[in-house]
Structure 1
């Protein structure tokens, strides 16, 4: 059992809160029974489990630990003080994991089918994780992170995704590479903007498409707008002039879902 918060393994886990170290190591931190379950169910490459006997009261959590042991996943036992030093939750449940990232790069020949969401320069990891969660809910295929910004493996994003980080494909790219991909693939690329363009409810969304959303403060850059095949907007009639990025993206994703998955007549409630 590790009892020192200065242990090198523990220091390395704490450093996963830093984007630089996540990028260098290719690892990320996962805490909570639901996301850990999702990681195991979707066969994520788990580097190790960390647990605290004193805090792990859930029988479900103990079952996860037994499954990890049966799969020869390394398990590290730590004291309460040590676990609380790495935990990002109030009232930690005594179980966390270090997992290998599974993002890929975008090549001109990369084939993207189904619904994808591209985010340009997103800054808030909570928004990113919430969008992943909704994208999974509507049966989307994956997310493209375009340009600099937060990353999908930020602890807040992982937590907000509620396990969707393990069910969706993640691609990290830059606008220049995205532009080259679009020029070759000629995919339907629908950008959301605050402008006098088509109401999002009046657009016919194909099954295979990319929904392109801009950053929280600035929206899509001019270069990104020029890449889009079509532009849509969400009308607002109140006093506010913008919506939260995750909320706006969710509205659009469910409109896409509704158009491609209409309610059957015998499922309607009169």
Structure 2
């Protein structure tokens, strides 16, 4: 499949040789956003047809410039059953559903990432379209996504429930990444207030952020959508990231 005349999209099922390039592709995730590697590796191996890479160039000049990861899971179609723990839970659920032999009825997008500096090429929207097209080609009617609003980090103190109500004069979401999803037919259906939970020692958080982490209480961390809660006595800091569930109906 193709997202532009000079770009190509391939799944890892088609190009297993690109798995390492996909995993090591430069991206803009903060250092503290750390997915469980065992689950990620399992998803890549078991559901390779749901992992996409966007390629530019040919032959020795070929390179991965964007990636899109997703997994199928058993969903009953009830929006209330979408987990409040979004990203973390749906990856575990996909594994449990797969091994239990349940019918996998929907696809969940886990990530769309673009090599820094290439966002101006509209690659985010193009990669989202490719992800939707791939799920549709595989026979799924719904692609769900616990979406990380791209501009929320600038206002970590603002509740996510308030943030997602902001719109532009044209009625589209004020947030750029939410807007891309809505433009491509997605609909915001609910909040997942604890989509990703990241805990670490204060030494780890200092390494990840360069901040002192020497006082109790909330700390605003670059890139974080909400403050990180610090306990000096327990030598622990915890970040709970809220996301926004978006539904793409693929059979329209």
What's the TM-score, normalizing by structure 2?
A: 0.27
TM-score w.r.t. the length of structure 1 is 0.26
Whose strand fraction is larger, Structure 1's or Structure 2's?
2
Of the two, which has the highest radius of gyration? 1
